[in-house]
């Protein structure tokens, strides 16, 4: 009994030693993380002079003896961990990057950011090329450019940034992050690091380092903070040097449930009804970055929940999130794998549900519509401003109106709105000036649309919504990086294609006529949905106006 307790106590001590940062420096000094991960071992020299080896069941004996020779010791304790836990442990041992970015924000970063022309160590890159996915933590290089890029990417992942911009100007360099849709300046690295930073990115993306006059596109796949990140790289030469945009696609993110994306509860049954059908086409519209794909993923998620036996195939450019249990295909225009071609091949794979990342050309549109009419449920996106313009866009692509009318079941238009930071949002009373501002915005659109019917309808509804709201204004605090906003929500305009809409589409009615009819049938517009979010205290008046202007 006593012995057993003693054993447990000493095991707890051992586990503590694994997470004691004091033990990490010796490991980092003697071994590379790549070596340790490859051989599944983490050797600790403890303060009491003992050697502790964290291993897995798969660790080879000769690796253990090699390490004991290197550390010049025979006394050892061994702890066996599951492989994943050991890899995580090794990652945390080598994760020193965040210490450096903290330093750089405090202005103590001169040493870290100073230029060092001996940047590229080619053997180091050779090592990395053997790994399909680079784990950022594996690169414990002292070269400033490498350290800088790794730190910036890790920080961007931590802050859920969607893009990293590296912008050169005459005498300074700017790094900005796009977070929740807004560009925020992060750091101004020393301008003489400019070339080594761009070279490093080119190496990571497999681009031509020598080519500095032409734009280049590439891709980096890596692991950061245990998340698989796919980075789209775009490099464009400007008069002050090459400008870099890194778009981060986090494939480990959760897929939202259909009830969480922002669709008004009232319309959920309508959407679920369309998803439960085995044919037809559901189209999501909006500008780039309006969250269309996220919405389609939540639909796929819902369909998988409803029917586990469906064969789901997607063709995307690029695959933004990996969804378990479905097959996703990346478009690759360089080798001729276009949306249309991918789609033709998918149809030979006996699909039930097809998602097409985007309909850009008539060939894709044609195959999509045909599929939707021949026993497939099809999801896709289209680049139009509102839901009603979808029909005209498809007609322009050469699709017959009766085919459009008989295949499309629902059209979504959507926008993303920033949510007010819950820590600092300030309650206020909506004054006449605010309401006037809002009304002006609507008037502008009335003139453009030249449709007083819709505007009158809107004004009555808007006044109703504004009568009983809780209004807040953005301020800014530490929690939201002094922007006043934290996170985003989507607003939706959902157009159901019923018999009335169908006959309007078949008679080639204008988008305005279709929109009016849809509103008459109960459709809520993007602007109304935006104002609802404002009245509910979720977002600000500034965001409502921003979204309305895009409209």
Of 34-42, 271-279, 282-290, 414-422, the window that binds Zn ion (rule: CB under 5 A) is 414-422
Residue 52 Cα to chain centre, angstroms: 40
- Residue 160 CA to residue 248 CA, distance in Å, equals 9
- Residue 433 CA to residue 353 CA, distance in Å, equals 50
Tell how strand 241-250 and strand 163-168 pair up. Answer: antiparallel
Of the pair 17, 543, the CB lying nearest Zn ion is at 543
Query: How far are the Cα atoms of 347, 399, 541 from residue 279, in angstroms, in the given order?
Result: 14, 18, 40
Rule CB under 5 A: say whether 179 interacts with Zn ion: no
Q: In 290-305, which positions are buried (b, 16+ CB within 10 angstroms) versus exposed (e)?
A: bbbbbbbbbbbbbbbe
Of the pair 255, 542, the CB lying nearest Zn ion is at 542
The nearest distance, CB 184 to Zn ion, in angstroms, is: 13
- Write out the binding residues for Zn ion, residues 107-146 only, by CB under 5 A: none
Of the pair 94, 485, the CB lying nearest Zn ion is at 485
| Torsion sign over Cα 139, 143, 145, 148 | positive
Q: Collapsing DSSP states into helix, strand and coil, what is residue 472? A: strand
Of 39-47, 177-185, 422-430, 447-455, the window that binds Zn ion (rule: CB under 5 A) is 422-430
- Write out the binding residues for Zn ion, residues 242-271 only, by CB under 5 A: none
The nearest distance, CB 425 to Zn ion, in angstroms, is: 7
Q: Which residue is nearest to Zn ion (CB)?
A: 421
514 touches 388 (CB < 8 A): yes
Q: Collapsing DSSP states into helix, strand and coil, what is residue 318? A: coil
Options 312, 421, 504, 519; binder of Zn ion; rule CB under 5 A: 421
φ, ψ of residue 231 in degrees (nearest 5): -115, 125
Query: How far are the Cα atoms of 19, 134, 443 from residue 59, in angstroms, in the given order?
Result: 20, 22, 71
Rule CB under 5 A: say whether 153 interacts with Zn ion: no
Of 46-54, 150-158, 296-304, 479-487, the window that binds Zn ion (rule: CB under 5 A) is 479-487
Options 19, 172, 402, 423; binder of Zn ion; rule CB under 5 A: 423
Of the pair 58, 478, the CB lying nearest Zn ion is at 478
The nearest distance, CB 475 to Zn ion, in angstroms, is: 7
Neighbours of 360 (CB within 10 A): 17
Of the pair 317, 543, the CB lying nearest Zn ion is at 543
Q: What's the N-to-C CA distance of the chain in angstroms? A: 74
Of 100-108, 118-126, 264-272, 469-477, the window that binds Zn ion (rule: CB under 5 A) is 469-477
Of the pair 331, 424, the CB lying nearest Zn ion is at 424
Rule CB under 5 A: say whether 424 interacts with Zn ion: yes
Options 184, 270, 430, 477; binder of Zn ion; rule CB under 5 A: 477
Of the pair 321, 472, the CB lying nearest Zn ion is at 472
Element (H, E) at 355: strand 353-356
Of 180-188, 263-271, 402-410, 478-486, the window that binds Zn ion (rule: CB under 5 A) is 478-486
Alpha helices in 130-188 (DSSP H): 144-158
Residues belonging to the chain: 551
The nearest distance, CB 419 to Zn ion, in angstroms, is: 11
Of 136-144, 175-183, 191-199, 417-425, the window that binds Zn ion (rule: CB under 5 A) is 417-425
Relative orientation angle of helices 452-467 and 432-449, to the nearest 10 degrees: 160
Of the pair 377, 421, the CB lying nearest Zn ion is at 421
Q: How many residues bind Zn ion (CB under 5 A)?
A: 6
Of the pair 113, 424, the CB lying nearest Zn ion is at 424
Of 46-54, 351-359, 477-485, 535-543, the window that binds Zn ion (rule: CB under 5 A) is 477-485
- Residue 432 CA to residue 422 CA, distance in Å, equals 26
Of the pair 421, 438, the CB lying nearest Zn ion is at 421
CA angle 86, 73, 66 (to 5 degrees): 60
Instruction: Find the radius of gyration of the CA atoms of the chain.
Output: 28
Options 244, 480, 509, 535; binder of Zn ion; rule CB under 5 A: 480
Options 12, 99, 396, 479; binder of Zn ion; rule CB under 5 A: 479
Residues that bind Zn ion (CB under 5 A): 421, 423-424, 477, 479-480
């Amino acid at each position: 009994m006593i012995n057993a307790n003693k054993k447990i106590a000493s095991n707890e001590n051992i586990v503590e030693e694994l997470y004691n940062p004091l033990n990490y420096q010796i490991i980092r000094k003697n071994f590379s993380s790549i070596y340790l991960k490859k051989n599944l071992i983490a050797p600790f020299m403890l303060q009491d002079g003992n050697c502790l080896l964290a291993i897995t069941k798969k660790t080879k004996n000769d690796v253990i003896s090699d390490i004991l020779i290197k550390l010049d010791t025979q006394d050892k304790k061994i702890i066996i961990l599951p492989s994943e836990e050991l890899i995580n442990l090794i990652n945390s041992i080598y994760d020193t990057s965040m210490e450096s970015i903290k330093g750089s924000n405090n202005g103590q970063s001169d040493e870290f950011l100073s230029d060092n022309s001996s940047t590229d160590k080619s053997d180091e890159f050779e090592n990395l090329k053997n790994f399909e996915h680079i784990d950022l933590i594996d690169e414990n290089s002292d070269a400033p450019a490498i350290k800088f890029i790794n730190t910036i990417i890790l920080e961007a992942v931590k802050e859920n940034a969607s893009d990293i911009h590296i912008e050169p100007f005459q005498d300074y360099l700017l790094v900005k992050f796009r977070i929740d849709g807004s560009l925020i300046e992060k750091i101004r690295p020393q301008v003489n690091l400019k070339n080594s930073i761009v070279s490093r990115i080119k190496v990571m993306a497999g681009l031509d380092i020598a080519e500095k006059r032409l734009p280049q596109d590439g891709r980096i796949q890596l692991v950061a903070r245990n998340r698989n990140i796919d980075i789209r790289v775009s490099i464009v030469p400007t008069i002050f040097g090459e400008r870099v945009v890194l778009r981060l696609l986090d494939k480990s993110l959760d897929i939202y449930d259909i009830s969480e994306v922002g669709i008004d509860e009232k319309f959920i049954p309508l959407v679920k009804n369309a998803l439960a059908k085995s044919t037809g086409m559901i189209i999501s519209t909006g500008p780039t970055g309006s969250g269309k794909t996220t919405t389609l993923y939540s639909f796929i998620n819902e369909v998988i929940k409803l029917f586990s036996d469906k064969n789901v195939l997607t063709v995307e450019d690029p695959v933004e999130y990996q969804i378990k249990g479905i097959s996703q295909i990346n478009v690759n225009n360089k080798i001729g794998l276009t949306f249309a071609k991918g789609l033709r091949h998918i149809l030979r794979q006996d699909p039930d549900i097809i998602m097409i990342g985007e309909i850009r050309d008539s060939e894709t549109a044609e195959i999509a519509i045909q599929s939707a009419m021949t026993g497939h449920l099809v999801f896709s996106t289209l680049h139009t401003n509102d839901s009603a313009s979808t029909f005209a866009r498809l007609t322009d692509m050469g699709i017959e109106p009766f085919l459009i009318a008989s295949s499309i079941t629902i059209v979504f238009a959507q926008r993303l709105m920033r949510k007010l930071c819950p820590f600092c949002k300030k309650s206020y009373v909506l004054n006449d000036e605010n309401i006037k501002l809002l009304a002006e915005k609507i008037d502008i659109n009335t003139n453009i649309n030249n449709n007083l019917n819709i505007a009158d309808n809107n004004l009555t509804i808007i006044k109703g919504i504004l009568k009983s709201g809780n209004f807040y204004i953005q301020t800014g605090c530490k929690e939201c990086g002094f922007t006043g906003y934290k996170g985003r929500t989507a607003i939706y305009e959902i157009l159901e294609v019923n018999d009335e809409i169908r006959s309007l589409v078949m008679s080639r009615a204008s988008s305005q006529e279709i929109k009016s009819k849809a509103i008459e049938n109960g459709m809520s517009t993007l602007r109304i949905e935006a104002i609802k979010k404002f009245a509910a205290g979720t977002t600000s008046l500034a965001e409502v106006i921003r979204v309305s202007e895009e409209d």
